[in-house]
Structure 1
Amino acid sequence: MKYKELREIVKYLEQFRHLNDIARVDDNVLRAVFDKEEIFFDLNRSKNLIYMRDDFVKTRFYNAPFDKMLAKKCKKSLIERIELDENDKIVRIHCRKKGSYKEESAILQLEFTGRHANAIMLDEKGNVLEALHHDFHRDIKPGRPLFPLTPPNKLDRSELHIENIKNYLLGMYKEDLAKRLQIAKTSKLLQLQKQKEKLQQLLQNLDQESTLLHEANEEEKKGQIVLANLHTIKPYQRVYEGADFEGNAIRFELPQEAKSAAMMSDLFFKRAKKLRQKAQNIHIQRENIQEKLDFLEKKANLVRNAKKVEDIELLFSKSAKKESKKDKNYERFNIAGYDVYIGKNRKGNIELLKKAKASDVWLHLKDMPSAHVIISTNKQNIPMEVLEQAAKLCASFSAKHPGSYNVDYTQRRNVKPKEGANVEYVKYKTIRVTIE
């Protein structure tokens, strides 16, 4: 941000007397509620912004030492004053909060200094209480005085008249959102396309049922020929040469691991049985892969239709722990600190039913085929906004068309599996959600 912009924004903020709420809502973004006005401070290295938005939904919670100190010293505090440093793009919010025994003052220093941007909590003497970042270009340690920044050589101190500060801050958000949204969409769609290509290759490499059945018949034929010629085949023999049952000449290798002709015959029959079983089950593998491809395509559609960067970040949650390689039939998301699992196919739905604990919350489209969704509760009450977002994910990954849908939810203990992923459930509630 330019210095002249900060100057006008600080003038606007000076009218407020209460800091009702303040918390980190993204890795480097603070949301503050001045009286009833929401202001966002973006301290990312690539850009520094102050903006307003009317579409905020909280999806992340932070509990690092900085976040605890921020809440302790600034949340529900009185604002003594807000000032802009005369020589740098630094905003200081002086807070006063009444504790159990005495009033305490603190300073939230917001440094809009490009790649060295930071948020630092200071006591009234200027000593560091906590900081968003400690590993930057200067020593920032709790209990020590804050080492000042070297002022920039130039600051844009020219006059700037902002007729409507709210519209100006909303416009900054919309302009930044459009850029970030396009970058996020391009990046994530490319990532999904690579995943789809791998699955498509697996699908193409699957054996055909007819090929497997032909191979099974050939193995069985060899076993029958060996069985009919047990008396002539030697235990050490490696190749059989003779005639088949139609009198045609035939030559094939014998199993080297077999210690007798009878064992050779048994091995051929076992191979034939295994190939037939594979032929019978190959359609299940094909369906599982196709369902995973369908899941990825639905995920790609959600990315294409996303209106906010947070909607995309939710689909690619970094805070969710990585599942092991065998857990590829369901996907894990993280909504406001709660792990949410969605089945990619029938196998994934079954795995989730087995994985879920009795107190976890299960979601499913009402009276329609649907992905199973599990919210891991850790025996805690789930906030309604988390339920609503999980229900929307359930509908988005299950419904074939945009529209409004009913999503049933209940505790896993109230869900009785029947055959496969089919279930019966009781004591449920319903949420109405809309997908675009």
Structure 2
Amino acid sequence: MSGFDPLIQPHCQGQAFANSYWAATCPLGAPTPSLDKPLQVDIAVIGGGFTGLLTAYHLATTHHQSVALFEANQVGFGASARNAGFVLPSTGRLGYAQLAKKYGLDVSKAIYQEYNNAVALVREHIDTNHIDCNVQASGYLKVAHNQQAFSLLKAQSEFLTTTIGSKIHQLLSQQQLTETYMHNQQGFGALRFNNAFGVHPLKLLLGYKALAQQAGVQLYENSLVTHYQNQNGNHQLEVNGHRVSANKVVIAANAYAQRHFSPLTQGRYLPILSSIIVTEPLSDEQLAANGLITEQVVMDTRRLKYYYRRLPDNRILFGGRGAVFGHDQDNAKYQHNLRSALNDCFPNLNAKVHYFWSGYIAAALDDLPHIYSENNTGYVLGYCGSGVAFSAQASIRLAEKLMGHKVPDLPIYTKPLPKFPMPQLRRVGQLAYYQYAQIMDKVT
């Protein structure tokens, strides 16, 4: 990515694509033409990731709007094709007990349902539209990294069962985890959610791109929106030097959004780098020696989490938080850190690293995603790394909000993203938190 940082550079157009495993195993194909003339549409969508493509699709199909989507690079540049491909029934960083304490039990239950609906919607998109995206075995293992963390997982499991009414999770002891799923040296038990699954995110994204195009969405790649203003209810955008008029606008670039594009989003999210390594393919003997039985997706309970999965070709994908500052993201030490953490989990895994890349997620101050609209401009921001799944539900809700339809009365749909205090110091705060979290992850 050549050091791109959304808090420093004005936009991401022209930046290099990630040298990812996903890009190496899925050709992007030729881009659609860039915008080369003035245009007038009902709705302009900015950003060609999961959220932008699905929101455009729903606006064109369910709501019968003329829609144009503008992607600054080529579809597949941003976070939608840089993630680990986890389709999880959760988003944000707040647990359901925390949500209940802050907003009430009814809100917590309703958000739980929204998150799980999202997973079902992704599965429905894949099955109904025959999207070949290497769907793997169902199941998400939230692995306790020490005994204290397992005690917390046990409390979470009890809350989900007795208070939320969940029937999709199971608490696994350390012995059950080892015998059935993996011999993780830092696994002290797990909470398993049976509806989650892994995908090839770039293949899924290109499937969504095809859906949007089939629905009549005008899709313009390599088309940077450089200016935007609302003139008496008519939105005027400048794209590649051409004027675009629209009745409504969707901002769907998430962490890759331009810093000063709109006061609705400015200073309201923190772009955080997440880095991933992928190993060489492992032999059956290597898999057996390390007890890598499962293909289910895995994440641990650290504050600075590690996440991993066994891929269909028996490579291991392993990810975690990367550099704080964009200029440092390609530093080999972050690849080394991930390799060391992988070795801590599976000491007998002597495998070469074939791929290393990074991408930005968007974190919110209140640890929740927000789907919000004001003056006929809507956005989705703050997935906190779980947008592969929740974008399927968020896109429906954003389309409904823009069209004036009623949506559930939940803080993720009714409240704007809170603004960071002193947003110019977001990176300083992030650095301080990382230092704190690294210490706490070692002692608790």
TM-score after normalising by structure 1: 0.20
TM-score after normalising by structure 2: 0.20
Larger of the two Rg values belongs to structure: 1
